[in-house]
Structure 1
């Protein structure tokens, strides 16, 4: 590992010198013709130079490192006309001043995205279903959550489980502990290593520092590697040079919601150095409910003292060195979270859970390199369901002791490096992108519930991946895309993730694509390295234990004869064929539609019992009897692979600009699970849960946006979301999520003070629901919750989006944003 890191570090640090060239710059201001005010988040591009910038809050921009020559410069922004200026001369060591004035236009013909090909390209030409949410859309939301903007993204299942907490999935097979969508932040993998889960709300990035959010729907492993089975969520922060200045946002709302966040960024040293600092504190009294858990003896375990005040504090900073067309950035950040989080066996009381990152990143037109580390620590978090049951098991001990024995302590650290290059072959014009990644994980349960309990050493493993993609223009209308990635993990066989696509573009901003992608979801640390004999002691001689399936298991009888064996767990795979169209019609109507067929194989089961000591069967791993050190024989629970299934689906996204100040949008998705095959001797309940679809078969979203209402600076927005009811089964969460339709509205206006804006958001102000779900006495594995059909609509109605989590009601937030 040290040789790899020394080589990567040398490449990262020496690349700027190789890229240095004498150059000039272009700078100016982009203004709105109707308001004579600066236009923020406009894209200014130097054609043929692979250089560009986004305007800041005052409409200013600077494009550095432009080679001397004569260029055409274009500027575009959603809702305004494309402007082009030709014959722009750039001289070495000089700045060329160039201003633009934009007129209002019905619709943005083609924005740009990054995640589909790991390079900038027009969204209409991307070889995948991908949506980009820009800085302006994000800024119009309240608080730290950008999730409101995700409600209308085609193909995305968004579940709101709290005031500030949402989860997302794409194209089926969701779960309460879902890691099928990979989260990326500024190029780094953002996961909790000890659980293999996306960082989600643990992110170190406040909303005021978000430049864009991209959602890639469908398999993404060909370029991103493990856990991009169903998609990739990418968060991109603002560059200090492109977004200088100070931003402060203060928010308040119902349920004692409070939020304060800020960002300050600038450059110095003649533009060669940049810096930024960000921070946020947010809290709210979350929606709440009460649980009862499986009995201890004859007494049902009632949930005790759950604290529903959710809070997060986060801070980050970055320092940049700009050298020619290159940028070297060092950044670090941390967050601390408190609240209630759902798990497959119940829920956790999060107490001072921390997440940190540190990153050194180099970018240039052709090279990308990074070294980074992330670290997660559970703090004083404990398991609410275990706490409730231990209160009955151990009467008389102190509350602090109960929380201690109910904790699942854990720490996880990820250390990673990546180097990537892109080039264009001179004769054929083939675009070629290739790279390699290395990742080292260190995980500890404090010798409590993972294999470090047995070995006395932290769990460590490596992952290595290499990837490449080529794009070839076959004719003026046809383009071929091919990619592949090879991943090798210490715990499972090597994985090959291919990607191929043929794109037909008969006219600009009109593309039909036919693609194939294969991706995989890797087994997480729990599924491979769980080791907890006597998870639930039953008597002095027998207990229930859990063991991960890293090396396979052999089941023997009391005489030592092999009864059966189970192979080590392997990744689940997703192979998807997709036919899609994306384009702009008549300059005002945007369409994105995709039909797909996905084949899933080797589902990972929930915990299943494979050995029963009362029936004379015992589990052995690597020749050692599981749990022998406790003196009790173990009912042995573990994870296995089984089965395959097919999903057929269609995703559709629309946007129509009726006038320069009025637009309508909509999306819908239909998906159907079929051809489930799961030949196994496992219990029917385990097979049913492993292959549970856990997603709606139909949903839609519709929205309308109005700007400059009545000639004023007021903007209004309305959104409606409908989700058809569906069954959900994941761990102890088993039942029916009722059909619901919710309505949101927003109002925003610029205030007389320069750079100040007021935003008001009202979520779920009117709701229709198909019924209510509630626990059947208590929560336990295999115990289905009750569902009472009761269709009703009204103001102030609540609805459920996740089994056993609190119903979600209306929520009002108001924020004041100041930029300078």
Structure 2
């Protein structure tokens, strides 16, 4: 026993002796502590971070000598050699500039942003902590070249370089390597499955085509969000924000946002973390009663369709409905709708959590990760209609193996629609619940005829007709209305209800290997990805009535990067990338990228790139089959149009012609027997069949882009300058066409009635047709070009000042292509300015940001309209209390209270006022 104890003590002493401890403090050059600085042992992944007071303790089993390296965003990197155990090493960090920051996204390898071969934006810890926006995600709007379209309080869509709706399928968003797009929608729901603010390590944004490295969805830009590793940043941190949202339409309402991060490093081999976030508020109310198509119309007009009024989409020509009775005027009359605010409570809510287990079996850079994420919430989404996203649930699970040279990961993303519903069809079917369309229009016509025969004027007869037809109307706020509302929003059949269902999934795997440690000639990377879609909306979104729809995509790529030192002061960095992608539905595509970076005196970098990208049609482009009232959305996959089948009643004349009272009609007519909708409108005005133009949309094919870009990034005296100019050429541009397919007759007008009238013309005249929105490619030339520049400096001995300007222009002949919608949806001119000081006096800082946007035309399936120019001022002040490890902030967004909107049909964006308390956020 004594021998055992002696051996134990000896081993304990050896183990104790093998432990080397280094401690110290990290401050800036004014003596202020820098929390969250990274300290690592050079050549390893062993490290730690400084605490809220700047103190750190680093323990390792290595014996001195070895070198430690310290880095902090916005400061120059430092290294020091450790020569003995129990050494105290303090660091006084010298402030650097934006050129010293390190990015990973541009080349899939760490490099100074100064040397990036393409344009890249970075939003680091300093910017996150000092943003004047209400959270880090909103703060991205202050980056040059970035648009954030506000769908609702909890759903914002990020985009770069135009061509985006809220269903932004041209822009990819990655969180720790995972695409967090919702499978059913094929685009991310803002930050619903994103990150809790205290866990954000860095955010990088790569505008423009990035398909060469990141595949089909990285077509117009990509956002990278990386979280903090529990090996590097331990402890408990959190924040709470309380305030109000203020909007003229909705009033003042409470707002709460809180989050917590817990991370613990159990040993050099194992660490774990958990994050939780919760947000609750009242959404921006949409109360626009302007007519969707003809501004100036009101409910006093017979055919009125209010932008945020639902149910009035149902309309008919009352003379045609009366069988051509001459006393009935040849006019279109619409039913009376319900305001959007009667169909939703505008509850905005987000609950999300994530957790991760991290294992380093050999206590080096080899790591095995399991990460899980869940998110649920309520928000408003505007697509073809306005949707109340209620209880939407999204989850991801990832398994990844990686080290400094490679990674292999696989993850699954699953969504569930919860109790979400279509507000337009809610209004339509509440109307139909208390009185069918046939009865309503029948009462309208009979009352009009009776009033006219009694000597009433046309205006009086119409007023009497609507009053009679409206008898029995359900009144919002009554138990009868609420009971009907509940029934309809729980019914997935759009002929009687408005709920949509979904339980779709994406299975994704990708891998990358950097051969730089094996090859001296150049840095070479190879990689690939595989994705499997499983669409399962039970027939409420997609044409999957008979069961889920499955299809897959695969891609492989390689990149070579070589730096050439031309002289002591001049370096040339060349990068070439090539990717091949193949969807099982289409032919494969190659996406090359070439770039060159020319560095002079380590202060000036000139870059030029040739990039290509491609985009496979999205899940909705391919397999949607959705009646949105004004039209049926029918996807352009080869097998999809035939999958959409509906039964339509025919007019009396149509019945006489066909011998049928109804017809089963598929979506094939949209692609092989249709007229352009604009030409049908021309025909309605002229009654000349020659005005009818054949559409017959092509089935969807992949879209391609070729992008040319030049840029400069460097230091000119006291100013940091970053600018770029680009030109994009699109081929087979994917967008929508609105077409009309007659229920009988051919659009070539070869089939005629005995009197010589073409059958298709008779069908149009009789109202025997269906409007479709097709998903197709344009033969027209679609190009865009633009520029962006930012200048930043320090003034008045410590104040940060930056300003940027963005220019974007669509090059497309709309007059020659009136039925093709590019959805460019971005202002031609944008300007943003930021001014602040992180240490105005001890522990006190502030930041003010202002942005201005030019007016622009918004185009989307919900509607088109002008977005007026606007300017927004955000501001915050903050105070650090080191003894509490806390930062207190008071802030306001849209401080000028000038309400604005970024898209046609949404609610006006008001102001937000808040106080926040952040604890131990390193």
TM above 0.5, one fold? yes
Check if 1:606 corresponds to 2:758: no
Residue matched to 2:700:
569
Q: CA shift at 1:370, angstroms?
A: 0.9
Residue matched to 1:363:
402
Q: CA shift at 1:519, angstroms?
A: 1.1
Residue matched to 1:265:
263
Question: Alignment partner for residue 434 of structure 1, among 518, 526, 530?
Answer: 526
Asked whether the 8 Å contact 1:432–1:469 carries over to 2, the reply is yes
Residue matched to 2:335:
299
Q: CA shift at 1:803, angstroms?
A: 1.1
Name the stretch that deviates more: 588-597 or 70-79: 70-79
TM score, norm. by length of structure 1: 0.83
Residue matched to 1:400:
486
Instruction: Provide closer, same or farther for how the CA distance between residues 150 and 637 of structure 1 changes in structure 2, counting only shifts above 3 A.
Output: closer
Check if 1:242 corresponds to 2:232: yes
Instruction: Provide closer, same or farther for how the CA distance between residues 48 and 819 of structure 1 changes in structure 2, counting only shifts above 3 A.
Output: closer
Q: CA shift at 1:145, angstroms?
A: 3.3
Q: CA shift at 1:501, angstroms?
A: 0.5
TM score, norm. by length of structure 2: 0.74
Instruction: Provide closer, same or farther for how the CA distance between residues 57 and 497 of structure 1 changes in structure 2, counting only shifts above 3 A.
Output: farther
Asked whether the 8 Å contact 2:151–2:382 carries over to 1, the reply is no
String of CA shifts for 1:123-146, please: whole Å, max 9, x gaps: 011111111211232234589832
Check if 1:639 corresponds to 2:775: yes
Instruction: Provide closer, same or farther for how the CA distance between residues 570 and 53 of structure 1 changes in structure 2, counting only shifts above 3 A.
Output: farther
Question: Alignment partner for residue 349 of structure 2, among 296, 311, 319?
Answer: 311
Check if 1:327 corresponds to 2:367: yes
Residue matched to 1:581:
712
CA distance in 1, matches of 2:613, 2:574: 20
**Which structure would you say has the larger Rg?**
2
CA distance in 1, matches of 2:901, 2:263: 41
Q: Look up the SS of the partner of 1:450 in the other structure.
A: coil
CA distance in 2, matches of 1:278, 1:387: 37
Q: CA shift at 1:218, angstroms?
A: 0.9
CA distance in 2, matches of 1:295, 1:677: 27
Asked whether the 8 Å contact 1:142–1:813 carries over to 2, the reply is no
Check if 1:342 corresponds to 2:337: no
Asked whether the 8 Å contact 2:343–2:427 carries over to 1, the reply is no
Give the aligned CA root-mean-square deviation in angstroms: 3.1
String of CA shifts for 1:145-200, please: whole Å, max 9, x gaps: 32332122111112234434422111111223221110111011111111211242
Question: Alignment partner for residue 122 of structure 1, among 112, 115, 120?
Answer: 112
Asked whether the 8 Å contact 1:162–1:806 carries over to 2, the reply is yes
Instruction: Provide closer, same or farther for how the CA distance between residues 592 and 545 of structure 1 changes in structure 2, counting only shifts above 3 A.
Output: farther
CA distance in 2, matches of 1:800, 1:314: 27
Q: Look up the SS of the partner of 1:411 in the other structure.
A: coil
CA distance in 2, matches of 1:53, 1:120: 19
Name the stretch that deviates more: 466-475 or 695-704: 466-475
Residue matched to 2:560:
470
Residue matched to 1:11:
none
String of CA shifts for 1:589-641, please: whole Å, max 9, x gaps: 221110111111212232532632244469xxxxxxxxxxxxx9865542111
Q: Look up the SS of the partner of 1:154 in the other structure.
A: coil
Instruction: Provide closer, same or farther for how the CA distance between residues 394 and 203 of structure 1 changes in structure 2, counting only shifts above 3 A.
Output: same
Asked whether the 8 Å contact 2:572–2:598 carries over to 1, the reply is yes
Higher relative strand content: 1
Asked whether the 8 Å contact 1:221–1:497 carries over to 2, the reply is yes
Name the stretch that deviates more: 155-164 or 129-138: 155-164
Asked whether the 8 Å contact 2:374–2:395 carries over to 1, the reply is yes
Name the stretch that deviates more: 49-58 or 371-380: 49-58
Residue matched to 1:725:
855
Residue matched to 1:802:
903
CA distance in 2, matches of 1:33, 1:641: 56
Higher relative helix content: 2
Instruction: Provide closer, same or farther for how the CA distance between residues 261 and 692 of structure 1 changes in structure 2, counting only shifts above 3 A.
Output: closer
Question: Alignment partner for residue 515 of structure 2, among 418, 423, 438?
Answer: 423
Q: Which runs of 5+ in 2 are unaligned?
A: 1-17, 245-252, 288-307, 316-333, 436-482, 492-496, 627-643, 651-660, 676-693, 749-767
Question: Alignment partner for residue 673 of structure 1, among 810, 816, 825?
Answer: 810
Q: Look up the SS of the partner of 2:827 in the other structure.
A: coil
Check if 1:39 corresponds to 2:34: yes
Name the stretch that deviates more: 359-368 or 58-67: 58-67
Residue matched to 1:479:
573
CA distance in 2, matches of 1:536, 1:713: 70
String of CA shifts for 1:642-701, please: whole Å, max 9, x gaps: 12322121111222122663111111111222254897xxxx5421x2x24211111010
Q: Look up the SS of the partner of 1:200 in the other structure.
A: coil
Q: CA shift at 1:81, angstroms?
A: 4.9
Residue matched to 1:13:
none
For this pair of structures, how many residues does the alignment match? 731
Residue matched to 2:8:
none
Residue matched to 2:662:
541
Asked whether the 8 Å contact 2:52–2:882 carries over to 1, the reply is no
Check if 1:508 corresponds to 2:602: yes
Asked whether the 8 Å contact 2:134–2:893 carries over to 1, the reply is no
Residue matched to 1:597:
727
CA distance in 2, matches of 1:250, 1:157: 27
Question: Alignment partner for residue 145 of structure 2, among 144, 152, 155?
Answer: 155
Which runs of structure 2 are paired with 1:173-188 in the superposition (5 Å)? 173-188=163-178
